[in-house]
Amino acid sequence: MTTRIPARYTVFFVGVLLLVVLHEILLHVMAEAHVAHVLLASGRGGSSAVAALLAALFVVVRVVVVVVVPPVVLFVSARVAFHALRRGTGERRAASVPGNEALAQGEACD
């Protein structure tokens, strides 16, 4: 039995992976570029616009990766699990219950 995951969920998980990679890259750049004080200085304008943008982008990406992504991954994982269970039960039924193929096919197509 094979259960295909809908494309939207695959796209979501790839997006999460890319966000995590972006977070790690920004973390490295922030550490190496010594732009940390841009945030603490409360935007007083002593730093370059690029540094300020980088710092702001890092904070937004970090909050998304740490706070938003884990619960959304759990949410989507639950959806995928339900999807797999539903398809799995439908296909097994089609293979094991004689005389009920039409019904099984109908369920598998949901």
Partner 1 sequence: MGERRKIPPLARVSSWMRKTRGRWTLVNTLVSLLWLALGLSVVPHRVCERDADAWYRGDPETTEKLARSVSRWVDEPLDPSTFATGSRRYDGEWLFGTYMMAAMGEAQTAIERPERRIEARRRVAKAIDRLLEPGARAWDREAWGEDPIDTLATTNRGHVAYLGYLGLALGMERALGDAKHARLHDAVVAAIARRLAGPELLETYPGEIYPVDNAAAIGALGLHDRTTGGDHRARIARYARTIRQKHLDRGLLVQAVGADGRPGDRARASGTALGAYFVSFADEDLSRDLFLALRRELYETVLGFGAVREYPRGATGRGDIDSGPIVLGYGVSGTGFALAPSRLFADEDAFRSIYGTVHLFGAPRVGARETSFTTGGPLGDAILLAMLTATRVPATLESASR
Residue type, 72: V
Residues 6+ away with beta carbon under 8 Å from 39? 55, 59
Q: Which stretch binds partner 1 (CB under 8 A): 2-10, 11-19, 26-34?
A: 26-34
Pick the binder of partner 1 from 2, 8, 49, 71 (CB under 8 A). 71
Helical spans, DSSP H, in 1-110: 7-33, 37-40, 49-63, 69-96, 101-108
Residues that bind partner 1 (CB under 8 A): 27, 30-31, 34, 36-47, 55, 58-59, 62-63, 66-67, 70-79, 82, 86, 88-90, 92-93, 96-97, 100, 103-104, 107, 110
